[in-house]
Chains A and B, each alone.
Chain A
Amino acid sequence: MSFYIPLGVFALIVVVFLLGFGLGNRTELPSALIDKPFPAFAAPDLFQPDQILGRAQIVGRPALVNVWATWCPTCAAEHEMLIKITERADVRLIGINYKDDPTKAIAWLGQFGNPYDLVLVDDQGLLGVELGVYGAPETFLVDPNGSIVYKRVGEVNERIWQQEIKPRLIAMSPDVVHGLDAASR
């Protein structure tokens, strides 16, 4: 009988360790904001800083809200993909220029191209806090009612577009994604 006690304890330790180490990559947190309304905000337009934009500029049509900065290498890596997405789908792309220098941001968009319909300035990162942002890039898919339906932490690439963003966009309104790309799904 006493033989089974250490054996049982050992088995328990093995199970606990398997659970603990099996959790794998924990760098991505589940977003607390999925299915919640996009927060209200007031942020200046990058190109017209005297113009203050709010939530009304985002809701009404499907929108991708992309948090980016010139200091963020992954943002540069995904930039090409963002341009492709605006070509493939009739989705509004809103940029949030996160904790950045507006002058640098404008120069950066001049150099690499500007796929954004609007760019909001969040120099202090407080709009980012409203959105639960903890690093750039982060990308939110917002439905026409203004609810956040999906959040991507990290690079938006072809796989994320095909598997995560496109199906959700089509579910919102089937003709949002342009003919060729919609057919290739």
Chain B
Amino acid sequence: MWYMALMLRLASFTTILWLIAYGLGVGVNTPIVFAASQVDVFTFNNAEEEARYRRLIAEIRCPKCMNTNIAGSDATSAQTLRVAVHRLIVQEGKSDQEVLAFMQDRYGDFVLYDPPLSGKTWIIWLLPISVGLVIVGFILRLLRQSKDVARPDLDLTGLDPATQARLKDIIQDQ
């Protein structure tokens, strides 16, 4: 059946996509560890501050470790950054944006899992989009091709009328 071939080709294509995504994505913007690996003793003025703290330490990448957020790392620098985030929120009353800007000013784009679009980072933004466009184009082409294959003009002229009739029957059944 025509769509079987299409499914097969799509399946192998998905594998390829995974490989590309893996090659591009690992180390760029996926925090692997979400769980806090260490319990710090911090006090907060209210639950909202604590929630913001938890969200921010999950969002800031540990500069010492390649792909862990500061919530999930036992590295001393991660622990220090948690202290700094706590201080910025509780004592200095900074907003989320200000805390992230503070970290970015001192540690660079690396500490943000969601890096800004800039001269240095355009490739990690544009590459997935362009790969996506290529894939959409490819799938559209596959679909068109598959339809062409599905309605072949069979040349039945050389066959006797009974066989012709049977073959047409079979094709229409499908």
Binding site for B on A (CB under 8 A): 5, 9, 12-13, 16-17, 19-20, 26-27, 29-33, 99, 124-126, 128-135
Contact with A along B19-55 (1 / 0, CB 8 A): 1100110110000000000000000000000000000
A124/B83 contact (C-beta < 8 A), A33-B106, A132-B107, A133-B77 known: yes
Q: How many residues of B contact A (CB 8 A)?
A: 25
Instruction: Please classify the interface of chain B as helix (H, G, I), strand (E, B), loop, or mixed, using the class held by over half of its residues.
Output: helix
Instruction: Please classify the interface of chain A as helix (H, G, I), strand (E, B), loop, or mixed, using the class held by over half of its residues.
Output: loop
| Contacting residue for A130 out of B63, B75, B106, B110, CB 8 A | B106
The chain A residue sitting closest to B25, CB to CB, is A20
* Contact call A135/B64, Cβ cutoff below 8 A: yes
* Contact call B77/A135, Cβ cutoff below 8 A: yes
* Contact call A125/B76, Cβ cutoff below 8 A: yes
List chain B residues, Cβ under 8 A from A27: 66
List chain A residues, Cβ under 8 A from B83: 124-126
* Contact call A134/B77, Cβ cutoff below 8 A: yes
A13/B66 contact (C-beta < 8 A), A32-B106, A129-B80 known: no
Query: In B84-133, which residues have CB < 8 Å from any A CB?
Result: 84, 87, 104-108, 110
The chain B residue sitting closest to A133, CB to CB, is B77
Q: Smallest CB–CB gap between B168 and chain A, Å?
A: 29
The chain B residue sitting closest to A30, CB to CB, is B108
| Contacting residue for B105 out of A17, A30, A32, CB 8 A | A32
* Contact call B106/A20, Cβ cutoff below 8 A: no
The chain A residue sitting closest to B110, CB to CB, is A29
A97 to B76 CA separation, bound complex (whole angstroms): 14
A165 to B87 CA separation, bound complex (whole angstroms): 35
* Contact call A29/B76, Cβ cutoff below 8 A: no
